[in-house]
Amino acid sequence: MNKEKRTAIFEKLRELDPEPDTELRYQSVFELLIAVILSAQATDVSVNLATDKLYPVARTPEAMLRLGVEGLTPYIRTIGLFNSKAKNIIETCRILLEQHEGKVPRTREELEKLPGVGRKTANVVLNTAFGEPTIAVDTHIFRVSNRTGIAPGKTPLEVEKRLLRLTPDEFKKNAHHWLILHGRYVCKARRPSCHECAICEWCEYRHKELA
């Protein structure tokens, strides 16, 4: 895909959604961090249902740590891998209090030292909370990048690096949200809704289908 097509795709996505944001509900950077940890292999809907009950009880690392694993688990039991996530969250809260004065760090290196935080989670926090031009490649973004031809790659890291290299600077801050929402609602895994896709005229997958 050439630069002109790639630019046209992002211009169209921006036109449709000028200020995209995550669908996870949160009121602080800490709440976002916890929600993103919980969202691994889970839907945003299921995470929001859990945090809607959890956050009124524990909105800070101190309050979450006081719950402990046993106190936290009932709130997140409906989410996949809840046992390991509960342990990671409690240990993360401990580290935030002991090493970061209770604040979420703003560097990838420090974020990735937190239990349950990998590169994707760190990228989401850096982008959504701190406005960094990072792109977290989840299954939706991986699919859209390969299917459309925006930034094909064999691994999430390869796709991420290509997106960062090929996405024009003016779109980098919001590219993560545009692509994930497009993959979630339009460019779906089994049955992409090409008939209602706003960027189909530049999509390599669509062109192959019509060939």
- Residue 209 is classified by DSSP as H
| Among 21, 87, 120, 173, the one annotated catalytic | 120
User: Does residue 120 have an active-site annotation?
Assistant: yes
Cβ within 8 Å of residue 63, ≥6 positions away: 57
- Residue 41 is classified by DSSP as T
163 with 145: CB under 8 angstroms? yes
The position carrying tokens 């973004």 is 141
Alpha-helical segments (H) within the chain: 3-16, 29-38, 44-54, 61-76, 82-99, 108-111, 119-128, 139-148, 156-166, 169-185, 204-210
Cβ within 8 Å of residue 201, ≥6 positions away: none
Tokens encoding 117: 């935080």
Report d(CA 117, CA 31) in Å as an integer. Answer: 14
| Among 17, 44, 53, 138, the one annotated catalytic | 138
Catalytic residue set: 120, 138
